[in-house]
Amino acid sequence: MENYVITVIIPIYNSSETLVKTIQSLNIQVDSSDCEVIIVDDGSVDNSYELYHSNFSNNKNIKYVKKTNGGPSSARNLGIIHSSGKYLTFLDSDDTVNRDFIQDYLECTKNNYDLIVMGYNLVSNNKNEYKKKTIIPRSENREQYTTAELFHILTSQGLEKQVWNKLYKKSIIENENVFFNEKIKIGEDFSFNLSYIAYAKTTYFLEKANYNHHINENSLSRSYKKYKFSHLKIVNEIYYQFLIDNGLEIKRAYLSRVNNVITCIADLSYTNDMSRSKKISIIKNFLDDEYLHEAFKILKSEKISLVAKTKIWVLKHLNRYVLYSLFKFTRFLKK
How many domains does the chain divide into?
2
Residue with the bigger pLDDT between 123 and 331: it is 123
172, 195, 215 — which closes off a domain? Answer: 215
The reply to whether 207 and 225 lie within a common domain is no
How many percent of the chain have pLDDT more than 70?
Answer: 92
Question: Tell me: the pLDDT tens digits for 93-125?
Answer: 999 999 999 999 999 999 999 999 999 999 887
The reply to whether 185 and 59 lie within a common domain is yes
- Measured in whole angstroms, the distance separating CA 5 from the mean position of its chain's CA atoms is 23
The reply to whether 98 and 247 lie within a common domain is no
Residue with the bigger pLDDT between 230 and 144: it is 230
Q: Residue 80's domain spans which residues?
A: 4-215
Please tell me the distance from the alpha carbon of residue 52 to that of residue 11, in angstroms, as a whole number: 13
156, 186, 215 — which closes off a domain? Answer: 215
User: Given this model, what pLDDT does residue 136 score?
Assistant: 73
User: Given this model, what pLDDT does residue 30 score?
Assistant: 76
The reply to whether 224 and 207 lie within a common domain is no
176, 197, 215 — which closes off a domain? Answer: 215
* Mean pLDDT for the chain overall: 91
Question: Tell me: the pLDDT tens digits for 291-319?
Answer: 999 999 999 999 999 999 999 999 999 99
User: Given this model, what pLDDT does residue 64 score?
Assistant: 97
The reply to whether 29 and 164 lie within a common domain is yes
pTM, whole model, 2 decimals? 0.92
Does position 325 have pLDDT exceeding 70, yes or no?
yes
The reply to whether 326 and 203 lie within a common domain is no
Q: What is the CATH number of the domain that holds 180?
A: 3.90.550.10
**pLDDT-derived band of residue 127, with 50, 70 and 90 as boundaries?**
low
**pLDDT-derived band of residue 216, with 50, 70 and 90 as boundaries?**
confident
The reply to whether 141 and 15 lie within a common domain is yes
Does position 190 have pLDDT exceeding 50, yes or no?
yes
User: Given this model, what pLDDT does residue 330 score?
Assistant: 74
The reply to whether 111 and 28 lie within a common domain is yes
Mind spelling out the 3-state secondary structure of the chain? CCCEEEEEEEEECCCCCCHHHHHHHHHCCCCCCCEEEEEEEECCCCCHHHHHHHHHCCCCCEEEEEECCCCHHHHHHHHHHHCCEEEEEECCCCCEECCCHHHHHHHHHCCCCCEEEEEEEEEECCCCEEEEEECCCHHHCCCECCHHHHHHHHHHCCCCCCCCCEEEEHHHHHHCCCCCCCCCCCCHHHHHHHHHHCCCCEEEEEEEEEEEEEECCCHHHCCCCCCHHHHHHHHHHHHHHHHHHCCCCCHHHHHHHHHHHHHHHHHHHHCCCCCHHHHHHHHHHHHHCHHHHHHHHHHCCCCCCHHHHHHHHHHHHCCHHHHHHHHHHHHHHCC
The reply to whether 143 and 242 lie within a common domain is no
Please tell me the distance from the alpha carbon of residue 102 to that of residue 210, in angstroms, as a whole number: 9
Greatest Cα-to-Cα distance within the chain, rounded to the nearest angstrom = 62
